[in-house]
Structure 1
């Protein structure tokens, strides 16, 4: 016999049940934030079990309703669960406020107990650029993945908070269980640990280096620094950069201003094959020479002249304007005369 229950009525019933679960979750999480430091370890374990049970029912109802209902409850649940796990694993840990911040890493808090307070190490948010994956995952593994005091569910929480855009979208629908942590790492590795694409991104950065339009010490040093940085990144991918000198020289010299490029061509020896190191050495030497030759800032001419001299110069310019408006033979001859103060100042 088929059920005659109205689908709309059933959905409304499920939504009402989910609302009750959400209210229970909110109440439990709020109580944890207010009184966690006063609870015993046994009480914390009971509340942790209650929190997990409520959220499991919440997820089941969301699946039946076919509605994700936003991410705020999921995030609040993850924060509360991580807080409880840390306090139950380490009973003498700090109160809730000290561990509930998403961006605080274990490495930053552990340094507080040492003799020397080291600067906080910040893990950058990974947004999906392949050439940034190695840096991100290296820091994450060093600070969080290799920390044996953290459980996988806690590591998953930290991982999710350091992802944005596409990387976060790839793993956000995984179940909030310990097993999802290793699966999340595998998904990110398969998607972004692409040696061919990473190499291409660094090569494109080389090709798109900003040209030196004006030969100043700052422009030259920035150019050399950016080029060396991209080449070092490619070399770290086990590419044979040392054999690329002819190609790299062709690319980089085209980005120099005409005067610097001419000076470089005159400086090298025609009977020897040019190398990339020689180009960088030339640019470093040229930047240093420009720095040393830069004169001290000079005040404008009018600021250096005495008030009376300035007045004489203005009067002289006004006379010249009148003579130019009504030229005559004597005026033309007089127009070649210079202001004595200007002559003295320029001398």
Structure 2
């Protein structure tokens, strides 16, 4: 994706935050919210948290390709977005607090339509955990399934219709279509969840897609700490998923090293070849260690630290 395309995509995400801010301010001005307003605010809050994650990914890519003279401007863009995001989400959460159902001190779970916070037996409330969104990508199924099962499916504090609410709220795209025709009833939840598992619990296809994703990792055209970090993170994510599918990857190191090396820019590749010249049989950990160390020499220094260093 080109720099201009990334900036346009970022603009769309900023527009989403602006729309959310207007909606929250509108609801803040109302003396009381109806049930549908509360549910809509909860759902919008969940979605804007996903926008925040997308913004960070896009901003990382922009900072990786932007001219170094414009980095200060990009750091300001990030700071402004984060300040607006945390300010307006705090307002939204404050509004929703007024409509939270009361629980006794022994309640283990407090839940709403878009997020869940877990309380221990002492009544201490831990941070909110947002439910994952699943759009039908086989690469994301395992992570989604395990998170949803731990927070919702096996949560004894929720009844079937509440679980179905969470399920519907967490599905998007082709995944949502799988359960579209299942009636929204307590009995329908088990049918909907089974239909989803039947569609995506395909070990052969899941393994195939994760291996395909590893071979399709982005090529790095020029030295970039952000892209190297993303390469390592994506690789680790797919390998973990393959292991979860009971596949033995113990002897994959030579193949994985070849794939990683083929994705590196020429400068980093040359440094890896020098680094590994005396290693008779390099392992996956060797190249990961090398790349992790190289990140420290490539990281841009934030403007605030530059100024502090000058002082």
TM-score range, shorter chain: 0.5 to 0.7
Q: CA deviation at 1:184?
A: 1.5
The change in CA–CA distance for 1:186 and 1:218 in structure 2 (over 3 A counts) is: closer
Deviations along 1:258-313, one digit per CA (max 9) or x if unpaired, are 2222222223246722222111122223333445999x969xxxxxxxxxxxxxxx
Q: Give the counterpart of 1:288 among 293, 296, 305.
A: 296
For the residue of structure 2 that corresponds to 1:138, the secondary structure is helix
2:114 matched to 1:103?
yes
Number of residue-to-residue matches in the alignment: 204
Question: Structure 1: how far apart are the matches of 2:133 and 2:299?
Answer: 37
Deviations along 1:185-240, one digit per CA (max 9) or x if unpaired, are 21111101122222222222222222222224444333333322322222222222
Alignment of 1:1-347 (within 5 A): 102-105=113-116, 108=117, 111=119, 115-269=123-277, 272-290=280-298
Higher relative contact order (CA 8 A, sep 6+): 2
The change in CA–CA distance for 1:139 and 1:232 in structure 2 (over 3 A counts) is: closer
The change in CA–CA distance for 1:283 and 1:33 in structure 2 (over 3 A counts) is: closer
Structure 1: tracts of 5 or more residues without a match:
1-31, 35-89, 94-98, 299-347
Question: Structure 1: how far apart are the matches of 2:279 and 2:144?
Answer: 46
Question: Structure 1: how far apart are the matches of 2:193 and 2:301?
Answer: 53
For the residue of structure 1 that corresponds to 2:129, the secondary structure is coil
Question: Structure 2: how far apart are the matches of 1:276 and 1:91?
Answer: 51
The change in CA–CA distance for 1:149 and 1:193 in structure 2 (over 3 A counts) is: same
Corresponding residue for residue 16 of structure 2: none
- TM-score (normalised: structure 1): 0.50
Structure exhibiting the larger radius of gyration computed from Cα positions: 1
Corresponding residue for residue 44 of structure 1: none
Q: CA deviation at 1:164?
A: 2.3
The change in CA–CA distance for 1:168 and 1:220 in structure 2 (over 3 A counts) is: closer
Alpha carbon RMSD of aligned pairs, Å?
3.7
Deviations along 1:115-159, one digit per CA (max 9) or x if unpaired, are 433111111222111222222222222222223233323322332
Corresponding residue for residue 83 of structure 1: none
For the residue of structure 2 that corresponds to 1:254, the secondary structure is helix
- TM-score (normalised: structure 2): 0.55
Q: CA deviation at 1:170?
A: 2.2
The change in CA–CA distance for 1:176 and 1:259 in structure 2 (over 3 A counts) is: closer
Question: Structure 2: how far apart are the matches of 1:113 and 1:133?
Answer: 32
CA contact (8 A) 2:223 2:268 kept: yes
For the residue of structure 2 that corresponds to 1:174, the secondary structure is coil
